Structure 1
Amino acid sequence: MLLSRISSHINSLTVQIFALFWLTFSILLALAFFVPTLDARAYTELKGDDLRYYQNEVVIAIRHNHISRLLNSPMALGLERRNNESYIDPPPNMPRPVLVNSHRAIIGAKDDDVQPLQKFIYQSDNPAHPMTKRFFDVQISGPFLITTGQNKQDNYMLYFVRKVNPQQEFISFIFDHPFIMLLLFMLISSPLLLWLAWSISRPMRRFLYAANAVALGNFQINKELEEDGTREFRLVGRSFNQMIKAIDELISNKQRLLSAISHELRTPLTRLQLAAALMRRRKGECTELTRIDMETERLDKMINDLLLLSRQQLNSHLLRDTFPINEIWEDIFSDAQFEAEQRHLDCRIQVQIDEPTQHFINGNLMSLSSAIENVIRNALKYTNSKIQVSVYLENKSLMVQVDDDGPGVPPEEYDQIFEPFYRVDAARTRETGGTGLGLAIVANAIKQHQGEVWADKSPLGGLQIMIKLPLWID
């Protein structure tokens, strides 16, 4: 039980972020203090083995009379320097002793070593804390006090000069430019920060895909949301799946209820139609029976539209396929032109697409064809004399524009006409036999294909319906 609770806290996003932040901060802080010590050109105090090594070299220099030779050299005596007697030439890789008197005169140094020695002496002149520093291919260490008499003026500072391999230039360049070093620190810490970002973004991407699927009407539960990621993400994933399940049940119950009501309405409607037929057979035709027939037909059409809308919403992702865009209107346009000719209307159709067979849509062909046909028939129903249908491509989308010169719709009702059972004019609805579901069915079909549909004022004077459907990009 205790181990389970500890494991749960370790898998917590809060703990992981906190721990990773302090780990990264500690690493950067350690590097900030440690890396400069790797610069061989930095002044470093001699300690431990290094100090004991040079103390031993001091003893060797005295024992082998190196100090005496330097003190008796022409330079120490104020004479002109002679090459063989002016400095000690030790074995390879061994330090060469150099003396500095109280006037800071350098004794026993080669010409190339004088300038770095002067710089080093200026920074390190305390024999209680000897230091070391590298100047390109020369390493200088010291000072060590050498006493030759009771007078302080007889005291000398002993330094050691040794040839070393020069520090590579790119390393020196890094140490000389703190900004470059900062970039290196950032580069070193980037893997940890990338891992943190990845550990957060990976489950977030799953949530994004799941949310997009829900937005498209796919209410399938994703178990990965509950099983992967930190504890917080798993809890959110469990709640997200519960929400999907609740929404799916709510929508399914709504559609089943609507479908059941529509089916139940058919029973009394059928009885009413049967009773009207029996009455017509007994008493003959009359105005009341004609009105009953008209209203029952309207009710029957409304029930059919309700069933269609219910099935459309319930089965929004079934029977999808990829097909050329021209298949949507192949039969619709010819039927519309034929109907317009029979009613003596001007029907103009413009397909402004080169090679429409090369462009595709993924969806339900019957549903899309029915939606566009519904809009065109609606225009034919309300137009005065002409309609115009334009088909073209825009921003990787198929655009279908239907205009008529009918009475139109008030601008404030452009959005409302796509709602179920909405009627602009009840009197006109009775004359045309509308149910108020046609454009709602159109809007539902288009939205299920991630498209858009809207109304506007037509240049012909009536209503303009615009349909936008995204093309399938393979």
Structure 2
Amino acid sequence: MKLTFLNTLSMRIFALFWLAFVLLLALIFLLPYFDARIYTELGNEEVSGYYGEISTAIRNKQLAHIISGVPVIPVDKFDGIHPVLADQNGNILGARKEEIAPIQQFMYHTSTTLKPLKKNFYDIQIAGPFTVHLNLENDVPYMLYFVSRVNPQKEILSYIFDRPYILILFIMLISTPLLWWLSRSIGRPLRHLQQAANAVALGNFKVDKSLETQGTIELRQVGQSFNRMTIALEDLLSNQQTLLSSISHELRTPLTRLQLALALLRRRVNSSAEIARIEKEAVRLDEMINDLLLLSRQQLNSHILREIFPITEIWHDIIKDSRFEAEQKKLSFKVKQLIHKPSQYYLNGNKGLICSAIENILRNALKYTHSKIEATIFVEDNSMVIAIDDNGAGIPTSEYENIFKPFYRIDEARTRETGGTGLGLAIVANVIREHQGKVWAASSHLGGLRVVIKLPLWISE
């Protein structure tokens, strides 16, 4: 992977932060220059130009005409600059009607200024004040202002400048695309990584090479490390399960020889308690190897063949068979199906494995109960729950978690009496975990043991 400094996550965040900061700073400093309505000082060249206009107005007696009340040129005939006078009492002379209000506002804001200013009022620009002495009888100075027509500022700009919250929205409009692009460039690869992690959790160890090509350098490196971890996990599980399977297969050879030797021995001598005991233990060993091979095959097959099917297909045949077996043993078998319209609920998984797990628990209940079994089926938290209770002797509370461990047996004497290899519930737990479900043991209200299976329902998006 070629390391590009500008494509690192830290550099991208740093660069975009400062880019947004500089743009906002530039906006703050430049916006006042686009607002022609603010009061700004006249430059030296502008002041010189206006003094030239004053000299021309005095020479042409334009100011004297204003004081004497000569009518002002109509607006539609006026394109250039014209002077306006204001006496010490604030009376405005030589102004048109529509110019009086802007001039009064300008006079109010420039009454204490030392330098002449200018400001735009829509399509009117006012500059001043300039002090002039017209050498009249009282020699009272007048304040002189120049009024000119300018292109009106765009209404949208005036609207924005008059409303600060519009500026805030404008700033957000500038920064939002940058931040959205940044969050997308980070979030999209992370979501992709999350999907890959969920796939691994479901037993899919397929390497996704796109994790190493999308996003920033850091995220690509994380994707590369994740793929290496996925490969290592697959190799570890495969080696472990292959070893377990190989050991189980290798055990069959001496076991077969032992069974043949027992058969020959039984022909030569009469059956004895010792030979019967050896045969019984050989049968148990054979069952244990079969269960071990079954567990190994289930764990090795990470990519479980799944289908979507109604939940009713899970318990229909199993309960029918269990009820028949209970009747043969003269046991009470009660089923509480508490799901309203169960046909509208579905599961996504391997139906055969799930049925086998439930059947395993029911057979345990049939084996250890005294007289009564109860199966309760209901929906809770978008999951199907099957609880199986019996009124047997039960087990100590401290053993509730241990019974799901491989080869774990609570009572060796009871194991010899009822059979079993200690792998049945371990296989059940493995199947349920493969389907993202839960299985646990608890005390039953019937007095014995309760085993609960909880499987997530399939919800169509």
Shared fold by TM > 0.5? yes
The amino acid across from 1:23 in the alignment is L
SS of the aligned residue for 2:4 comes to helix
1:327-342 aligned within 5 A: 327-342=313-328
Tell me which residue corresponds to 1:237: 223
Counterpart check, 1:31 vs 2:31: no
From 66, 75, 79, give the equivalent of 2:62: 66
Tell me which residue corresponds to 2:95: 109
Cα distance 1:64–1:455, how it changes in 2: closer, same or farther (>3 A)? farther
Counterpart check, 1:407 vs 2:393: yes
Counterpart check, 1:279 vs 2:265: yes
Cα distance 1:68–1:377, how it changes in 2: closer, same or farther (>3 A)? same
From 446, 452, 456, give the equivalent of 1:466: 452
Q: Distance in 1 between matches of 2:192 and 2:252?
A: 45
SS of the aligned residue for 1:217 comes to coil
Tell me which residue corresponds to 2:361: 375
Cα distance 1:415–1:47, how it changes in 2: closer, same or farther (>3 A)? farther
Cα distance 1:153–1:207, how it changes in 2: closer, same or farther (>3 A)? farther
Deviates more, 1:11-20 or 1:136-145: 136-145
Tell me which residue corresponds to 2:160: 174
Deviates more, 1:176-185 or 1:138-147: 138-147
Tell me which residue corresponds to 1:82: none
Deviates more, 1:335-344 or 1:449-458: 449-458
Q: Distance in 2 between matches of 1:432 and 1:104?
A: 117
Cα distance 1:225–1:429, how it changes in 2: closer, same or farther (>3 A)? same
Tell me which residue corresponds to 2:377: 391
Counterpart check, 1:205 vs 2:201: no
Cα distance 1:409–1:136, how it changes in 2: closer, same or farther (>3 A)? farther
What's the offset of the Cα at 1:105?
A: 3.7
What's the offset of the Cα at 1:463?
A: 1.1
Counterpart check, 1:293 vs 2:279: yes
Structure 2 runs not aligned, ≥5 long: none
Tell me which residue corresponds to 2:428: 442
**CA distances 1:330-355 after superposition (whole Å, capped 9, x unpaired):** 22111101111111111112223344
Tell me which residue corresponds to 1:79: none
Q: Distance in 2 between matches of 1:267 and 1:106?
A: 122
Q: Distance in 2 between matches of 1:59 and 1:444?
A: 104
1:50-449 aligned within 5 A: 58=54, 61-62=57-58, 64-73=60-69, 85=70, 87-89=72-74, 91-102=77-88, 104-125=90-111, 129-135=115-121, 138-149=124-135, 154-162=140-148, 171-449=157-435
TM-score, normalization: structure 1?
Answer: 0.89
Cα distance 1:152–1:10, how it changes in 2: closer, same or farther (>3 A)? farther
Structure 1 runs not aligned, ≥5 long: 74-84
Cα contact 1:405–1:462 (8 A) shared by 2: yes
Cα contact 1:126–1:143 (8 A) shared by 2: no
What's the offset of the Cα at 1:29?
A: 0.8
Tell me which residue corresponds to 1:9: 5
What's the offset of the Cα at 1:440?
A: 1.0
Cα distance 1:176–1:263, how it changes in 2: closer, same or farther (>3 A)? same
Q: Distance in 2 between matches of 1:51 and 1:277?
A: 127
What's the offset of the Cα at 1:154?
A: 4.5
Q: Distance in 2 between matches of 1:458 and 1:447?
A: 23
Q: Distance in 1 between matches of 2:450 and 2:189?
A: 44
The amino acid across from 1:260 in the alignment is S
The amino acid across from 1:365 in the alignment is K
Q: Distance in 2 between matches of 1:346 and 1:211?
A: 46
SS of the aligned residue for 2:441 comes to strand
Cα distance 1:305–1:96, how it changes in 2: closer, same or farther (>3 A)? same
Q: Percent identity?
A: 53
The amino acid across from 2:199 in the alignment is A
- Count of paired positions: 459
Cα distance 1:17–1:153, how it changes in 2: closer, same or farther (>3 A)? farther
The amino acid across from 1:13 in the alignment is L
SS of the aligned residue for 1:421 comes to coil
What's the offset of the Cα at 1:399?
A: 1.2
